[in-house]
Structure formats: structure tokens, C-alpha cells
Amino acid sequence: MMDAPSVPDPVFVLAAPRSFTSLITAMIGQHPELYGLPELNLFQCDLMEEFNTGLTPDGISKSPVWKTMRHGLLRTVAELYAGEQTVESIHMAERWLARRADRTSAEVFHELCKSIAPLRVVEKSPGVLRKQVFMDRMLEAFPNARFIHLLRSPVDQGRSVLKAKGGIGVLLAMNCVDYRGEEAALEPQILWHDTQVQILRFLDKLPDEQFVTVRGEDLLNDLDNSLGALCRWLGVSDDVEAIAAMKRPEESAYSCLGPANARLGNDVNFLRSPALREGGVTSTPLDAPLPWRADAAPLHPRVQALARELGY
């Protein structure tokens, strides 16, 4: 009788929204020894009943877009247990989740990892970074997981958030508003700053070997060397075939729009056009006038200082 495969601890990508997260997570997940998932959002909940209903234990709605935040897990269950993502297999996934309503999110995540073993799960859910309790739940479930702190320059990340579908809603939900002027104005640099602080506080709990910081611009501008270094840090093959597979994120089963009852699970722009486009990725200088500000002010000094500390 053959032994069951060991279940490796997952790899979590921690990053602010619009920080190349969809592309780079999909790339890493295409490595032959890894398995990239869409956004599961599991650790925003304790029990699966909360995930299924979208209601907190005291009956408050978790998010006005919680229905779409469930799409990644539904697509994952459909793909893993039905071998396809169709309207019918998504209905099956709903039943699968309903049968686990009394389980914890950690138990369900462990079950998924076991079904994927010996491949190692790679996942990112930016919503988990909203609250420290969500991140603590993730670490409690997987104390030996690896964490990739993925960065993007604050000016470019802020510009991207404002352009993205739903980006303004994210800024409002996170209270990223500057009240210092005569009129209140959306200020995406608050999202960048507060997310990095949240991640850094979390990483302070971990030994150095358990996490790595990656600037997305550096990775995309030097793919072979950056991906090779990341593979060696993860302890997986860095041969030519593995690196080539990572450059084909569009081959993931999740790198496309899903069926009508679970369309998303990732950034919609990535899902519509998931291929890697090789070429130079630039960073806007930290002291440049911000394109979204009427007064053309640069980044706040605290944001500039943190960005420089992180290598920009």
C-alpha cells in the first residue's frame, strides 16, 4: 500500500491591490512543483457558515461585493473535484461548501492543500490584509508557510487603483480619504502605506527565512534571474523548463473568466488578458507630482520614507 503524499505548506503572496499580484502569483503558480490558486478569501472568516452567507456572527454583511469574493473558492472546488469550471460544477461546489458550513476556514484550506499535494499551493487574497485578525488566522493555520511580500512603487500602484474597475470602491471601503484640503479627496497612497505597515508588522513575527521581499518591477524587468532566485528560495527546481512554465501564466485553469455563476476570483483585467508581456517596467520617482492630486503635490513624506526603506 502506497503512503499518502506529504502535504507541503502553502506559499502566500502579501501585497496591496494593483501590485502585479494577479500576474506574478499566476506565474509562480505555474511552476511544475507548485499550484497557483485564485483568491480564496478564506481567512476573512472563521467558520465556513460565515463564508457561505457573507454575514458576520452578529449578522452584519461582510462586504457589498462578498458574493463575487466567493468566486475564487467556488472555481477552485469545481476544478479540483469536477475537473472543470462550468455552471453545473459551480453548483456542485456550492453544495460542497454547504456540507462544510460547520468547519473552520483553516480546515477547508488544509483539505484543499491535501487534495493538491504533492504540489505546493500558491495563493494571494489582498482582502486578508484588511485586518490583523485575518492575518493571524492565516498564520495560525499554517505556521510554517512561506510568505512573499510583493511590492509596487506607491505612485504607480495608486494610479493603477484609481483606474481599475472597483478601485474607487476599495479606497472608500478602506477610508483612504484625505480631509486636509477644503474638500475631502480620495488618496490611494494611504492604501499603499497602511497595507505595507500591516504586512511589515505581520512579518516581524516570523524568522527571516520564512519570508522574502520582492519588488514587482525588478522581477518583471529581469525574469530569468528573479524567478530563478525565487525558485531557489522556495526549494523548487530552477531549471530552464520550470522558468519557461512560469512565463506562461495564461495556461493556468484559473487565468480566464469563469462560468456565469462564478466569473471572477481574480482581477478582471488579468482574467481578460492574462499573458505575460515582457518589456521594461518603470517606477515613477517618489518626489514626482501625483497625477491624481489637483495641487500636484508629491507623496507624503512618511510614504516616501517607507518606500525608500523598501528599496524605491
pLDDT band at 182 (very low <50, low <70, confident <90, very high): low
pLDDT of amino acid 4: 59
pTM score:
0.93
Q: What was the pLDDT predicted at 279?
A: 75
Give the tens place of pLDDT for each residue, 153-177: 999 999 998 887 777 777 776 677 7
Calculate mean pLDDT across residues 280-293: 91
pLDDT the model gives residue 171: 76
Nearest residue to 15 (alpha-carbon basis) of 153, 196, 193, 190: 196
Contacts of 236 (CB under 8 A, 6+ apart): 31, 33, 34, 120, 242
> Please, what is the average pLDDT of the chain?
93
The predicted-structure confidence for 38-74, as pLDDT tens digits, reads as follows 999 999 999 999 999 999 988 899 988 899 999 999 9
At 294 the pLDDT is 84
pLDDT of 112: 98
Average pLDDT of span 222-249:
97
Following DSSP, what letter does each residue of 215-281 receive, concatenated?
EHHHHHHSHHHHHHHHHHHHTS--SHHHHHHHT-GGGSTTSS---TTS--SS-HHHHHS-----S--
Contacts of 44 (CB under 8 A, 6+ apart): 51, 62, 69, 105, 125, 127, 128, 130, 131, 134
Each domain of the chain, given as residue ranges in start order, spans 11-152+207-281
Phi then psi dihedrals of residue 121, to 5 deg: -70, 140
Q: In what order do the strands lie in the sheet with 146-151?
A: 34-36, 120-123, 11-14, 146-151, 211-215
C-alpha cell at 134: 485575518
pLDDT at residue 221 tops 90: yes
Cα atoms in the 13 Å half-sphere on the side-chain side of 142: 27
Res 2 pLDDT > 60: no
Mean pLDDT score, 6-13: 96
User: Domain 11-152+207-281 in CATH: superfamily?
Assistant: P-loop containing nucleotide triphosphate hydrolases (3.40.50.300)
Cα angle 17, 19, 21 (rounded to 5 degrees) comes to 85
> How does DSSP classify residue 9?
P
Sequence-distant (6+) residues with CB within 8 A of 88 are 82
pLDDT score, position 300? 94
The model's confidence at residue 216, banded by pLDDT at 50, 70 and 90, is: very high
* pLDDT tens digits for range 96-146: 999 999 999 999 999 999 999 999 999 999 999 989 999 999 999 999 999
pLDDT at position 278, please? 76
Confidence of residue 277 (pLDDT cuts 50, 70, 90): confident
Return the pLDDT at 163.
Answer: 85
Length of the chain counted residue by residue? 312
pLDDT of 3 over the 60 cut? no
Query: Cell 524587468, residue?
Result: 221
